[in-house]
Amino acid sequence: MRGEPIVERAFRILGAFAEAGEGLPLHLLAARAGLSKSTTYRIAAQLRSVGALERLENGDFVVGLQLLEIASLAPRGHGLRAAALPYMEDLHRVTHQHILLAVRDGEDAVLVERLSARDAAPVKYRVGGRLPLAQTGIGIALLAHAPEQVRREALDGAPDSSRVRRFMAAVLREGVCAMTGVNPLHAGAAPVGAGPASMVSVAAPILNRRGDCLGALSLVAPDEGRSQVAARIALRTASLAISRSVGS
């Protein structure tokens, strides 16, 4: 730890927050960041002074609004979000489920927007959260168009690489994939109100005119045994429309 740049330690502290609106006491913030309490307190005080962290009346630290202001300027997330939002809203009105938009950052998918109906099944996704590329529909849509090294490393760590390869092939062949999996909220002992145990994720990549992957769009809904043809067509149509919107 000695000699580690202060910027890296500051980002470790900011990265310790795992849930939206989460407040962390100093000892837990230090433990998650892997730093001593004295170092954490000193850097957290500096982050507070610039608005990156705030402190509640009970002493807990929370993420500050200044980070939201800065993050909203990120071109890969904000520009794509602006182009995608009208089409996401259309899907949201028709399906009354979760509509997700994500971009790839290294070996993760980062969620940049989520629209959810009030009565939609609970899911463990939040804006700004990271999703494993090889374990989610929206991640596989991104992975199919990722560089070879990223695909290789993701497949090496996948529980069922052959299944992931099949979904990637579907993305490259048809521009969309649909997969059924366990609701992450049901990992371990499912809490009360955790929703259905099985969910369907239909996802499609968003490509520019050169074929570069800008992001991916996904519909997440309970697995009720219904045909996924309509959802596949809707996601594919929306992804193509977003691609044209971004290009123009």
Give residue 190's pLDDT. Answer: 47
Q: Per-domain residue ranges for the chain?
A: 6-70, 75-247
What is the residue whose two structure tokens read 């520019």? Answer: 208
Q: Cα separation of 85 and 81, whole Å?
A: 6
Name 216's bridge partners. Answer: 102, 205
Whether residue 63 contacts residue 53, with contact meaning beta carbons closer than 8 Å, is answered with yes
Annotate 137-173 with b (16+ C-beta within 10 A) or e (fewer).
Answer: bbbbbbbbbbeeebbebbbeebeeeeebbebbebbee
Percent of the chain with pLDDT over 90: 46
Same CATH fold assignment for domains 6-70 and 75-247: no
**E strands present in 46-197:** 53-55, 61-63, 98-105, 108-115, 130-132, 177-182
Provide the pLDDT confidence category of residue 7 given band limits of 50, 70 and 90.
confident
Question: Taking 70 as the threshold, does the pLDDT of residue 3 lie above it?
Answer: no
pLDDT band at residue 75, thresholds of 50, 70 and 90? Answer: low
pLDDT at 22 (0 to 100): 79
- Kindly report the CATH class assigned to 6-70: mainly alpha
Q: Is the pLDDT of residue 157 over 60?
A: yes
Per-residue confidence (pLDDT) for residue 195, from 0 to 100: 54
Q: Residue 123 and residue 96: Cα distance in Å, rounded?
A: 14
Is residue 2 predicted with pLDDT exceeding 90?
no
Rama region for 126: left / alpha / beta (φ>0; ψ in -120 to 50; rest): beta
Q: What is the rounded average pLDDT of the residues 212-225? A: 87
How do residues 86-113 score in pLDDT, each as one tens digit? 999 999 998 888 999 999 988 899 898 9
What's the average model confidence in pLDDT over 225-245?
87
Q: Is the pLDDT of residue 191 over 80?
A: no
CATH number of 75-247, picked from 3.10.20.90, 3.40.190.80, 3.40.190.10, 3.30.450.40: 3.30.450.40
The whole-number pLDDT of residue 20 equals 63
Say whether pLDDT at 136 is over 80. Answer: yes
